Amino acid sequence: IEAFESGLEPELRKAVNGEKHWTSPVKDLELGLESVAEHRTAEADARTHASSCLTEAEEAMVCQEWADCVAACESGLKNAETVNDAALTGKLEALLSLSVANQQLAAGKTAMQAKKFEAAIAAFEAGLEEKTDARGDDGGLAQQLRDALQGATTAKEGQDTARMHAWEHCSEGELLLTGEIGSDTIGDAIARYTQGLALQEKSNGDEGWESCMPRLQSNLAAAEEKKQAQDQARACAQEQLAAGKKLAAEGTTAADPTALAALGHSEQAANLGTAAEKHKAAAAAFGVALEQQTHQKDLTTQLSGLQQVALADLSLAVARQHDASAEAQMAEGAAAAQEGGSEQLSPADRVKCHRRS
């Protein structure tokens, strides 16, 4: 401005003697002065706006309204070249860095509460990239960000470990039910699925990863149904085992040789018939028990052996019953012969005696 005004002083303009015989710079000087004046006005307006934004940002900073503080600083820095005030611009930039860092710290804490540890880590790292000490002491903000970042990193590692273990439990449970099912296989699978589901909170549920939680829940429900059916089958098998043992014992008692010796042939045949029915019923009970899906090899072996014994006892009782019946028929024939002589035996009685002999 001073340069342009000097070039337009009246005495200087008079000394150059008008505009004849040379190119006068007067118009350019006038235009330059006008342009500079406009720039000066714009600069003053920009500085006024920037100062207002700085005041607004400082008020927002006191209230910890980080978003408002960021918005005010960014508005004040929008025309930094026009402001042309390094001190004012520097204050706005420092305040902007501080408010952004605080904003990222708050956002990271919110993400931590939601167990979104990856987002929290990103927020804390972004906050640490800001020059929080541009205005001097940052009040421990940088240290807060470093501590928060360490906590988020540790939490993320724990989350990753929980997710890995959840998948391991899921796979182990499925593998148990893939092959031959043993005595405790279903129970072991249920334990694996339950252990996996117990990690749901630490693994942050099914958000942010290829979650196995729905799969664990489905597998657990199916395994519990199988366990319920298995328990019912085992209860039924034990019931039939007890009934079979009772019937077999009754059959053995009915066919006891000592007790039969005190009876007549007809009574012996009747008792042996009862014994045969008992052993037959026992074998049937053991068969029903064997049909149950108990998945207990020891029980299956026991039932199979008992069934074979019952069938053998049945065959023996039937054979002894036939013998007793023949003895009874011979006794009847002998008694008839004694009464009327052997020549008085009927043809049927003679055939019976012949068969017996």
**Cβ(326)–Cβ(349) below 8 Å:** no
- Looking at residue 181, what is its pLDDT? 72
Between the alpha carbon of residue 248 and those of residues 244, 275, 312, 323, the distances in Å are 6, 8, 11, 21
Looking up tokens 């940052």 gives: 138
The pTM for the full model equals: 0.61
CA–CA separation, 197 and 220 (whole Å): 9
The kind and range of the H/E element at 106 are: helix 86-113
333 three-state secondary structure = helix
Q: Do residues 284 and 243 lie in contact, with contact meaning Cβ atoms separated by under 8 Å?
A: no
When the pLDDT of each residue in the chain is averaged and rounded to a whole number, the result is 83
Alpha-carbon distances, residue 118 vs 292, 345, 352 (angstroms): 52, 108, 99
| Phi/psi of residue 184, nearest 5 degrees | -115, 15
> Once rounded to an integer, what is the mean pLDDT over residues 90-106?
88
Mean pLDDT, rounded, for 334-351 = 61
- Taking the C-alpha atoms of residue 357 and residue 342, their distance in angstroms, rounded to an integer, is 15
| Dihedrals phi, psi of 334, to nearest 5 degrees | -65, -40
Q: Torsion angle, CA of 257/262/268/274, rounded to 10 degrees?
A: -70
Residue with tokens 């002491």: 137
The percent of residues in the chain predicted with pLDDT above 90, rounded, is 41
Whether the pLDDT of residue 165 is over 90: the answer is: yes
Residue 330 φ then ψ, to 5°: -65, -40
pLDDT for 238 beyond 50: yes
Pair of tokens at residue 228: 């319920």
CA nearest neighbour of 320 among 246, 247, 270, 280 = 270
Please, is 33 exposed, middle or buried when counting C-beta atoms within 10 Å of its C-beta (0-12, 13-18, 19+)?
A: middle
pLDDT for residue 22: 47
What mean pLDDT do residues 201-224 have? Answer: 85
Which of 52-66, 178-192, 197-211, 271-285 has the lowest average pLDDT? 197-211
User: Which is more confidently placed, 148 or 138?
Assistant: 148
Q: What is the C-alpha separation between 117 and 151, in angstroms, rounded?
A: 9
Mean pLDDT value of segment 204-208: 67
The label of the residue with tokens 């605080």 reads 102
Condensed to tens digits (0 to 9), the pLDDT of residues 110-121 reads 999 988 898 999
What was the pLDDT predicted at 92? Answer: 83
pLDDT at residue 66, as a whole number? 83
pLDDT digits (tens, 9 = 90+) for 14-71: 555 555 544 556 667 666 666 766 677 777 777 788 888 888 888 888 888 888 988 9
67 CB contacts (<8 Å, ≥6 apart)?
103
